[in-house]
Amino acid sequence: MAGILDEQPYPWHKKTAQQLHLKLCQFSASVPGILLVAAQSQIEAYNLHTEETPYLLWADILEYAAIHGHLRELITNIANRLSATSPIRSFFQDLLANQDPPLDAEPVGPLGAPRFISDTDDITENEALLYKEDLTLRIVKVPALINTLQKLTTLAPGVCRFIVEVQGSTQYGTGFLIGKDMLLTNWHVLHHETNGTKASAATAEFLFDDSHANSSVKIPCDVNTIVTSQEDDWAIIRSTQPLEDNWPIIALSKAVAPQNNIAAYIIQHPGGESKRVGFVRNQVSDFNDRVVHYLTDTQRGSSGAPVFDENGNLFGLHHAGGRPQTIVGKPPLVKNEGILISKVVEGLKRYEVAFD
């Protein structure tokens, strides 16, 4: 059975093809790096529009490679460059095996542009200048970082991976425990992004991380219990069986308001893979009464993840990840958007749903 790697021209109308483009942007957002891997796959720079942004350059490469029969070679070379623990490697391997990979739930617009509620994912010069090229940390700040990471480690068992069936397709997301049997994620994790159809099945997988590689716990959830807001992109769902008492509840009642320039830490399942924490270049850049923007590293599949400050206080529900961008010569940055927990609380009160 032929897959998208053997189609001509490149099948942009297929969601798998769109997500391949996004995965390539995650693999490299550096024009020199992109051109190097392209050349190793018989795609020379003189055939491309090298002055374009990394997003447009990858699109150009995909179209050229598909027409000239180099796409499978390109993806093979990229997959071989990735470590076994890379959160995007399995996607490429599925394509090479002509299998349909599970898709990330997060909806996107043309050329991978996320659907932000407020503004766009464009990085401003001021945001790019928040960080210097030196990513080392002054030793005096190490104890505070250790303290933060210890708090996040304690909270991590309350974060799960969602495996969701919608109209015959499987999609991934992240969620977290906000009550004894209640989990919070995004609307778009539990619904079809185009027609809004509700999931036919949803499973919350806890302890899916490197330290519990063979002992994760899958908990079925009842899709008939979903309470949601498409407008503010949040949804709660209840489990069909009791959860472990030692899994921490990340209580909405203890959430705080964000502040500009504070750190934003995200416990997430990037690409539907094992649990990770985003803590690099992780500054809040702005917020309003509905959403918060931050520069923390994320990847597709992190939708529905909790966003914490350095004290382990919840303040956001991760909603959309931006595209890596290089501004004023700084290393690639990504702007992300989260829903304020206060908006989730407001909605739950409107629906008269009790929460911790």
| Intervals of the chain under pLDDT 50 | 1
DSSP 330: P
Q: Structure pTM?
A: 0.81
CA distance 95 to 301: 18
Q: What are 109-163's pLDDT values in tens digits?
A: 666 677 888 888 888 878 777 766 666 778 998 899 999 999 999 999 999 999 9
Query: Which pLDDT does position 2 carry in this prediction?
Result: 61
Q: What are 149-205's pLDDT values in tens digits?
A: 999 999 999 999 999 999 888 899 999 999 999 999 999 999 988 888 999 999 999
Per the listing, tokens 């099948």 go with: 11
Q: Which of 229, 216, 149 is nearest to 185 (CA)?
A: 229
* Residue 221 contacts residue 200 (beta carbons within 8 Å): no
Query: Which pLDDT does position 356 carry in this prediction?
Result: 79
The sign of the torsion formed by the CA atoms of 321, 324, 327, 333 equals positive
Query: Which pLDDT does position 1 carry in this prediction?
Result: 43
* Residue 177 contacts residue 243 (beta carbons within 8 Å): yes
How many residues does the structure list for the chain?
356
**Using only C-alpha atoms, what is the Rg of the chain?**
20
Query: Which pLDDT does position 331 carry in this prediction?
Result: 66
* Residue 204 contacts residue 310 (beta carbons within 8 Å): no
